[in-house]
Chains A and B, each alone.
Chain A
């Protein structure tokens, strides 16, 4: 689905969606970092409270950085890997929470109210985005961001 000018619109739309998702997710977390730290802690996966703080401080900024660098040719490939890694990490964390039967709010887009569907829905979203990111990586392999 390439236009005459050589722009792959499926890639451009995908990149817009990924950037939008990361900006939205990062904003939700930055608005209330302590609530996001509570969400991270609720997963009970990190061995020490210092790691909870590091994740709470670093992840929102990394999401924003990824959203921007997906559009920068020299950084596009690294941003793509980070994006796929983040989605994979979220999918694994949510799988573990699901297996443990945790009724928690994932904190994915800021703090919310946990329900019994919070984790399965967030898991489905993370797996969907991971699949999309893998497809995107395959689609743009060997190309730079301006193509």
Chain B
């Protein structure tokens, strides 16, 4: 009985240890690997900002600068706002607010450089959104845009879900 338990315990230990080793091997070969010491989102965002020359402190969520659906929709129709979609590229490609540029939290620096936004008028009105009220990415991206010099950045907190429900114009790949 005791021998059997020891054998099962050993097998369970092999399963757990084997999973860790295999997990580490898989992690070592993939491009989107997890660092051995996990970095919170805010720290990763700071690293992204450092790549575009902004080096002080952590990027934190911001509470101010929200915009409501009605005003946001009006600005989109008039094309008087730079719209930033802070969701992951996969979701952006599935559909986004008409005219929006994809600038996700992960890989922020690369996306920012590729977008050409750094060379544009930084006093222009910018609105950032992500999926819904519970996602924090829009606030983190908005704060990061402020730190790279954009002076009028607001967050559409209700996000893509509310936009879609409202029937406002969207762009989808053909």
Contact = CB atoms under 8 A, between A and B. Distances in A.
Interface of A: 30, 32-34, 37-38, 40-41, 49-50, 52-54, 56-62, 65-66, 69, 75, 77-79, 81-82, 85, 103, 113-115
> Taking each of A54, A57, A77, which has the highest tally of chain B beta carbons within 10 Å of its own beta carbon?
A57
Interface string B33-68: 111111111000000000000000000000000000
A58 B19 CA distance: 5
A87 B115 CA distance: 44
A37 B38 contact: yes
A69 B40 CA distance: 34
Given A38-B41, A58-B19, A62-B16, A53 B26 contact: no
A50 B27 contact: no
A62 B22 CA distance: 9
28 contacts: A33-B27, A33-B34, A34-B106, A40-B38, A49-B37, A49-B38, A49-B40, A53-B34, A54-B20, A56-B38, A57-B23, A57-B24, A58-B16, A58-B23, A59-B19, A61-B19, A61-B23, A62-B19, A65-B22, A75-B11, A78-B8, A78-B15, A79-B15, A85-B12, A113-B132, A113-B134, A113-B135, A115-B134
A41 B15 contact: no
A33 B32 contact: yes
Nearest to B11: A78
A21 to B, nearest CB: 17
Nearest to B18: A65
Nearest to B161: A113
Given A53-B36, A61-B23, A61-B26, 13 more contacts: A33-B30, A49-B39, A50-B37, A57-B20, A58-B20, A60-B23, A62-B16, A65-B19, A75-B11, A81-B12, A82-B12, A82-B16, A103-B134
B134 A57 contact: no
B32 A34 contact: yes
Contacts of A40: 38
B131 interface: yes
B135 A33 contact: no
A52 B33 CA distance: 13
A101 B51 CA distance: 36
